[in-house]
Structure 1
Amino acid sequence: MIRVLLADDEAMIRAGVRAIVESDPDIEVVAEAADGREAVELVLAHRPDVALLDIRMPRMDGLAATAELRKIAPDVRVVILTTFGEDEYISQALGDGAAGFLLKAGDPRELISGVHAVADGGAYLSPQVARQVISRIGSGRAAREAAAAERLAELTDREREVLALLGTGLSNADIAGRLFVVEGTVKSYVSAILGRLGMKNRVQAAILAYEAGLVERDADR
């Protein structure tokens, strides 16, 4: 059973998200919070596996709560709930340790998939969010793509393959299934990739995979 904490200052949003995630028999919402400070307190009290945090909340927003949880409860996986137009906050959240980004208006199945992915140690970006992040590169995009490709040159072919799958939001178990290897082998690859690239977490690596075009090329096969 995946234990989830949900934080949003709008009661109707909380009710809707709760109804969606609890439609999966393997997910249970153990606590709800109306602001970031309360979310942090409830995480310490309930120790959920995943915390779903809205970006904009009173007292403490989702970004500040993410940073706080990274320090005091690093085992809790944080997923940021976002809306279109808020992608400017994603870079900050990446640095603060968020494991995923989901659109409130996205496909409900995406929300359930995202919770499962991050609970299993993976990273998850809504495809729309990933496209928004990359599109914000704007001027200098070609230079960023070239820089990303240059960084990936340090990886082996197998590591690039793992990174491409990681970039789609797959968990270690899912990647292992795709590559016909044991999960422990994938964990070793992911650790090596993060170390070689100097990344703090899987979501940062996923963004780099998008910037370098690995995900698009993998998806086209």
Structure 2
Amino acid sequence: MPRVLIADDDPVMRMLLTAVVDNDPALELVGAAEDAPQAVELARQHGPDVVLLDVEMPGGGGPHAAREIKRLSPTTRVLALSAHATGEQRDAMETAGADGYVVKGTPPAEVAKALRGH
């Protein structure tokens, strides 16, 4: 069962993503962060299998957090989360080591599928 960490500075988005994970019996939520430093710290504490990481967050943003999480645990899958499907943000996350990309507005079942690694 993949252990999931969610990181998004928008409290409503965190709540919705938490519900997606909680409603999927094949996923386990281990934490929810509101900024990049907290995402890195929670990843260090809980060792998630996958992190769903907002691209634009306080404290260095998604690229900074992705680099640090990958440095701490190279096997942790990092999925970037953004409102934009293409562009500089996506490129920055790929350069930082993100393993995939989820666009905000993706149906919940597809988000859960991405978190499960399918």
1:1-221 residue pairs with structure 2 within 5 A?
A: 1-84=1-84, 87-117=87-117
Tell me, in whole angstroms, the C-alpha distance in 2 between the residues paired with 1:99 and 1:110: 16
Structure possessing the higher relative contact order (Cα contacts under 8 Å, 6 or more residues apart): 2
Q: 1:86 to 1:36 in 2, by over 3 A?
A: farther
Tell me, in whole angstroms, the C-alpha distance in 1 between the residues paired with 2:18 and 2:87: 23
Q: Percent identity of the aligned residues? A: 36
Offset of residue 67 of structure 1: 1.2
Dislocated runs of 4+, deviation >6 Å: none
Q: Which amino acid aligns with 1:77?
A: R
Offset of residue 85 of structure 1: 6.4
Offset of residue 59 of structure 1: 1.1
Tell me, in whole angstroms, the C-alpha distance in 2 between the residues paired with 1:38 and 1:24: 24
Q: 8 Å contact 2:7–2:14 — kept in the other structure?
A: yes
Tell me, in whole angstroms, the C-alpha distance in 2 between the residues paired with 1:61 and 1:45: 19
Structure 2 portions without partners, runs of 5+: none
Tell me, in whole angstroms, the C-alpha distance in 1 between the residues paired with 2:23 and 2:50: 16
Offset of residue 40 of structure 1: 0.2
Offset of residue 86 of structure 1: 5.8
Q: Which amino acid aligns with 1:73?
A: S
Q: Which amino acid aligns with 2:84?
A: F
Instruction: Summarize deviations over 1:144-178 as a string: whole Å, max 9, x none.
Output: xxxxxxxxxxxxxxxxxxxxxxxxxxx6xxxxxxx
Offset of residue 95 of structure 1: 2.0
- Look at both structures and tell me which one has the larger radius of gyration over its CA atoms: 1
Alpha-carbon RMSD across the aligned residues, in angstroms, is 1.4
Secondary structure of 1:6 counterpart: strand
Instruction: Summarize deviations over 1:31-84 as a string: whole Å, max 9, x none.
Output: 111100110011000001001100111112011111111212212110011113
Offset of residue 19 of structure 1: 0.6
Normalised by the length of structure 1, the TM-score is: 0.51
Tell me, in whole angstroms, the C-alpha distance in 1 between the residues paired with 2:85 and 2:45: 33
Normalised by the length of structure 2, the TM-score is: 0.92
Tell me, in whole angstroms, the C-alpha distance in 2 between the residues paired with 1:85 and 1:76: 22
Q: Which amino acid aligns with 1:17?
A: L
Tell me, in whole angstroms, the C-alpha distance in 2 between the residues paired with 1:85 and 1:104: 9
